Amino acid sequence: MTIQSAIAELSTVLGDGLSRSKSDLDLHGASETYFAPTPPDAVVYPETTEQVQAIARICSAHGCPVIPWGTGTSLEGHALAIRGGVTVDFSRMNKVLAINAEDMDCVVQPGVTREALNAELRASGLFFPIDPGANAALGGMVGTRASGTTAVRYGTMRENVLGLEVVLADGRVIRTGTRARKSSSGYDLTALFVGSEGTLGLMTELTLRLHGQPEAISAAVCAFPSVGAAVDSVIATIQMGIPMARIELLDAATATAFNSYAGGDFPALPHLMLEFHGSDTSVAEDAKRFGEVAEEFGGTEFRWSERTEDRNRLWKMRHDAAYAVKAIRPGADILVTDICVPISQLARAIGETEADIAASPLQGPILGHVGDGNFHALLLVEPGNTAELAAAKAISERMVERALKLGGTATGEHGIGIGKLDFMAREHGDAWAVMGDLKRALDPGNIMNPGKLVKVN
Amino acid sequence: MTIQSAIAELSTVLGDGLSRSKSDLDLHGASETYFAPTPPDAVVYPETTEQVQAIARICSAHGCPVIPWGTGTSLEGHALAIRGGVTVDFSRMNKVLAINAEDMDCVVQPGVTREALNAELRASGLFFPIDPGANAALGGMVGTRASGTTAVRYGTMRENVLGLEVVLADGRVIRTGTRARKSSSGYDLTALFVGSEGTLGLMTELTLRLHGQPEAISAAVCAFPSVGAAVDSVIATIQMGIPMARIELLDAATATAFNSYAGGDFPALPHLMLEFHGSDTSVAEDAKRFGEVAEEFGGTEFRWSERTEDRNRLWKMRHDAAYAVKAIRPGADILVTDICVPISQLARAIGETEADIAASPLQGPILGHVGDGNFHALLLVEPGNTAELAAAKAISERMVERALKLGGTATGEHGIGIGKLDFMAREHGDAWAVMGDLKRALDPGNIMNPGKLVKVN
């Protein structure tokens, strides 16, 4: 019962769907952030649910860790093989199996990326709105309960997964949920697997909600005298029921970074970037009403645009934020923090974080999905500089403690992986032990992405 | 280790918060539908989380069943004491603990009813939108994952519970979720408890999302030549992104029942009843656009109203539907069916159900939350007539099989309880066994509402 014996048996089942080449192992041992490389012992590329089932059975029998892999864009080390074992790369399970236009849903394999899905949907009048920035695989987005800029309107993966096919550790294949829009039939297993980071099973099929492509889209930018004023205008906007598709906060440092990197012309002030989806009439009305709210809270330099090219330029800038921030200090790594608080506490959380960063040796521009109370400080760290990494981790830890004190959470959208494991007991108390109970119930051998999210004795 | 010894110990802890009076036992042994009365051995009325914790510990130690009770309005026998034991009536835990207006959330005890919450919210500009018809306790609504007429816009309880305080079978008190709008921090325990029907623990505190009271509300009614035409116009409306707050289907039999019971003047045709929430401009535009869609699909007798009294009259009629249907056959009981299918299959599911009812000796008008694909046939049964009850159950069973065949679910919003337990294996296959695994992990003694939702060996 060893990893090596599991790999020997797997190679008879998977043939050239199993790789032990150094380049494959290295690729699957890397992450996008500061974690040390930890390659697996082998990489498998299943093409069918039956192959995934065989992988689960064989790895269970041999006690071999199984780590799912989408595109490797997660930020908390979710896909690192920290105990060795086999990485299951889903890139060959990348088919869109069904698009049900009338029902506004689709069925996809986990290796389909969100951009690939939206390309297939273009002619249907529908789209999948969740946008975490990276062109992640949808299976990975389910695994981390991803969200991003559009969650304020369309929800997160939690609200957009209708059902799953999952291979359990013992090789059983289950289906959770149906294509019905709602159900009161038993425990919500779909929600249990969304955000489970590969620790409870391997997803082989996803049924996702789709949304109608908006008839009209408009965008707006507005500067504010302070983060507090920007947040207050967001609170008022939400309470008035003005439906925003996106509402993003940039602090002054980010606005300045956009100016130098992407030729923006923002004043060195906090900004809100907004998008409205609807009919021609409604987006015009929404922008007008938002403009009035913003003015009340001292907003200036309000710019509104219906032109597609202006809008695309704006959101490209937002999507490239990490590059713009990196350009402040060429060659630096970024440690991306990710807390989420009740919106009434957001200005305070950001203000205290800014003060914390100012008192540190680091630079760390801040961006936020402000409609959800979620923000990130992008802490710039010199590669290999352990003092700077320690300073960045200390800032991140204080952000988490601040979030918990203010009624929030350690991670709004990036997940736990190994990066935030130490905060789980603090955030959840005995509820973390309950997560361990559930993990043991479904994966008694602890082979499914072991060492992530839960601790199992 | 008996129920009686549990009750003896409970009475020392709860004093006059424990009742064995016949009237109390009878009240808590009754249900709103066709199930035989099954009173508990005692009823307890806790006032604090600590008392609920004591109840769990004592009942665990004695192996005594614990059945949570809100207002007793569930329709599938969820709160019946089918194995005896202690019913936990939460009516004394009925405080609104906090209203956080800026964050649009609130914290309530489980015994608060939805109408009581909305009365407290009136001055805040906020409201809690989920409306299952009955003035249910919010704890019960969490337990059954309730929804109702507004789910098409505001979601179900699944989307509107941010967090819970739960007392587990072993007496541990856990908190799930936070007041943040979203989180990627670990398993979604909140979603696991929403819809768990009291089988995993007792909820003692609920954190709920609130929504802004709409600035303007308008309503519309429209007749259609067929159920199919009505459903097609709903599909088109959703795809165009016209935001409806409610969209309800009545079949011709229900329209006729409304005429005789409530003085309606509907033609004997299927109808849609709609409500739009937004600004003055947007609700007018939404109604206009819907009117155009309806016309395309043969809609006639389109009536639109912004007047509050007309709107209230309309929705009162809808809320009193059960009474209107009962008036068709005075003295009859109603067996309420509840399936949910992908909307593309809804016209077919309703058509086949209508044919099924027509071929039976029963009458059964149909109403549906058509935006979600969810509908109910209200089957009229003579009390004590076992042949009629069997016919009604057979219709319900065929509806469920139809729903499953069409990609849907056995229950859109009423839950499993004991009434739909026999359909669980058919709907979920091995996933039902997984639900049993989770139940055993959290309630190894099977004291939490035993015999409901799962089967545990």
Question: What's the pLDDT tens digit per position in A126-147?
Answer: 999 999 999 999 999 999 999 9
CA distance A187 to chain B (A): 6
Q: pTM of the entire structure?
A: 0.97
φ, ψ of residue A242 in degrees (nearest 5): -70, 120
Q: What is the 3-state secondary structure (H, E, C) of A332-367?
A: CEEEECCEECCHHHHHHHHHHHHHHHHCCCCCCCEE
Cβ–Cβ below 8 Å for B174 and A434: yes
Mutate to test the interface with A, among B78, B142, B172, B183 (most CBs of A within 10 A): B183
Selecting from B172, B178, B195 the residue whose C-beta is nearest the C-beta of A187 gives B195
Task: Look at residue B317 in the predicted model and tell me its pLDDT.
Answer: 86
Q: Which domains does chain A have, with CATH numbers?
A: 3-91 (3.30.43.10), 93-212 (3.30.465.10), 216-323 (3.30.70.3450), 329-414 (3.30.70.2740)
Judge whether residue A49 has pLDDT over 80: yes
pLDDT of residue B247: 96
B183 touches A at CB < 8 Å: yes
Structure tokens at A115: 């951009």
Say whether A411 and B184 touch across the interface (CB within 8 A): yes
Tell me which residue in B174, B187, B430 faces A196 most closely, judged by beta carbons: B187
CB contact under 8 Å between A240 and B215, yes or no, is: yes
Please tell me the distance from the alpha carbon of residue B104 to that of residue B120, in angstroms, as a whole number. Answer: 14
Cα radius of gyration (chain A): 22
Q: Would the CB atoms of B172 and A430 count as touching at under 8 Å?
A: yes
CB neighbours of residue A102 within 10 Å: 16
Task: Name every chain B residue with its beta carbon within 8 A of the beta carbon of A102.
Answer: 235, 342-344
Residue with tokens 């409205």: A276
Q: What is the pLDDT of residues A422-451, one digit of tens each?
A: 999 999 999 999 999 999 999 999 999 999
Across residues A79-102, what is the average pLDDT?
A: 98
B341 in contact with A, Cβ within 8 Å? yes
Tens digits of residue pLDDT in A294-337: 999 999 989 888 888 989 888 988 988 999 999 999 999 999 99
Check if B277 contacts A (Cβ < 8 Å).
yes
Q: B243 — contact with chain A (CB < 8 Å)?
A: yes
Q: How far apart are CA A108 and CA A102, in angstroms?
A: 17
Which chain B residues in 142-171 lie under 8 Å from chain A, judged by CB atoms? 144-147, 151, 155-156, 158-159, 168
Residue of B nearest to A404 (CA): B178
Average pLDDT over residues A39-52: 98
Q: What contacts B427, CB < 8 A, 6 or more positions away?
A: A178, A185, A186, B400, B404, B409, B410
Q: Is the dihedral of CA B294, B299, B305, B309 positive or negative?
A: negative
Rounded to the nearest angstrom, the gap between the alpha carbon of residue B450 and the centroid of all alpha carbons in its chain is 20
Residues 399-418 of B with CB under 8 A from A: 403-404, 407-416
Residues of B in contact with A408 (CB under 8 A): 178-180
Nearest CA in chain B to A437: B441
Residue B324 DSSP symbol:
H
A159–B155 CB contact, under 8 Å:
yes
Cβ atoms of residues A74 and A96 within 8 Å: no
* Interface mutation target, options A154, A183, A233, chain B, most CBs of B under 10 Å: A183
How confident is chain B (457 residues) per 10-residue block, as mean pLDDT?
93 97 97 90 98 98 98 96 98 98 97 98 96 95 97 97 98 98 98 98 98 93 96 92 93 94 92 94 91 96 88 88 94 95 96 96 96 97 95 98 98 97 97 98 98 90
Predicted local confidence at residue A241, as pLDDT: 86
Q: What is the pLDDT of residue B457?
A: 66
Q: Note the pLDDT of residue A229.
A: 96
pLDDT given at position B154: 96
ipTM: 0.97
Contacting residues for B400 by C-beta, under 8 A, at least 6 apart? B339, B410, B420, B423, B426, B427
Return the residue in A126, A181, A456 with the most chain B beta carbons within 10 A, the one to mutate for interface testing.
Answer: A181
- Judge: B277–A241 Cβ closer than 8 Å, yes or no: yes
Contacts of residue B240 in chain A, CB cutoff 8 Å?
A: 212, 215
Contact A168 B431 (CB under 8 A): no
Contact B374 A156 (CB under 8 A): no
Which of A5-9, A258-262, B153-157 has the least mean pLDDT? A258-262
Considering only CB atoms, A184 lies closest to which of B183, B243, B413, namely: B413
The helix or strand, by DSSP H or E, that contains position B250, with its residue range, turns out to be strand B246-250
Which residues in chain B are closer than 8 Å to A277, comparing Cβ atoms? 241
Give residue B240's pLDDT. 87
- Residue B29 CA to residue B353 CA, distance in Å, equals 32
pLDDT on residue A288: 92
Check residue A136 and give its pLDDT. Answer: 97
Indicate if the alpha-carbon torsion angle A338, A339, A343, A344 is positive or negative. Answer: negative
Q: Which residues pair with B224 in a beta bridge?
A: none
**Residue A272 pLDDT grade (very low, low, confident, very high; cuts 50, 70, 90):** very high
| Residue A282: closest C-alpha in chain B | B282
Query: Residues of B numbered 58-97 whose beta carbons fall under 8 angstroms of chain A's beta carbons: which are they?
Result: none
Binary contact (B173, A430; C-beta < 8 A): yes
Distance CA A251, CA A236 (A): 20
pLDDT at A1 over 70: no
